[in-house]
Amino acid sequence: MYQTTFTPLSCYSVMKIRFACGLLFNCCLLLNSCSAQQKKSPAKIGPTMEMPGKNNPVYSRTDSNRVNLSEEEWKKILPADVFYIAREKGTERPWSSSIEHSTEVGTYYCKACGNPLFKSDTKFESGCGWPSFFDPIKKGSLLYLRDRSHGMDRTEVQCGRCKAHLGHVFEDGPPPTGLRYCINGVILDFEKSSPKK
């Protein structure tokens, strides 16, 4: 009896919270883009149609050597939306990535350098608005940094090879790790696993 009344109410509450969060985020985005316009042209945020690694000499899915480029060099080789997330620690709009609900089987790579980051079998639906994973391919695939920006105390996650900003990790994920890696879809390249013969 409690179940039937609780479920629609909680769904409605979640929708209201999502709507409010969306509005708040849009306002923040608007404020950010307004202040950015005073300094420089804002980078466009949106899906990129570029092929993986196109015009990017450091992109490799097998080379694990660290990549160390200047911001100017990154700007020349990354699409604007990837540069905004990777190098300017940007955040894509919640629920804007088609990857968030993808259930395809394969591997997710860093779009800036090709480093393998996550396998699809560690991906889960968190409902937070961004693609979520509970474990990286290897602990060394990522770097962890304390992020106290925006009045919050969070752990930022960067690519272990090129130091691209990926997103954040939170301790409210599912078993077995209990972690939720909340990652911008723009910085992920996906390759489907080839079917087993």
Residues that bind Zn ion (CB under 5 A): 110, 112-113, 115, 159, 161-162, 164
- Given the complex with Zn ion, which of 125 and 191 has the nearer CB atom? 191
As measured in angstroms, the least distance from the Cβ of 135 to Zn ion is 18
- With beta carbons less than 8 A apart as the criterion, state whether 164 and 113 touch: yes
- Given the complex with Zn ion, which of 69 and 159 has the nearer CB atom? 159
Q: Which two tokens stand for residue 147?
A: 């992020």
128 classed as catalytic = no
Annotated catalytic residue: which of 110, 113, 162, 182? 182
As measured in angstroms, the least distance from the Cβ of 14 to Zn ion is 33
As measured in angstroms, the least distance from the Cβ of 59 to Zn ion is 9
Strands of 116-119's sheet in order across: 116-119, 106-110, 188-192
What's the rounded Cα separation, in Å, for the pair 138 and 13?
37
> Token pair 């961004």 is at which residue?
130
Question: Which residues carry out catalysis?
Answer: 182
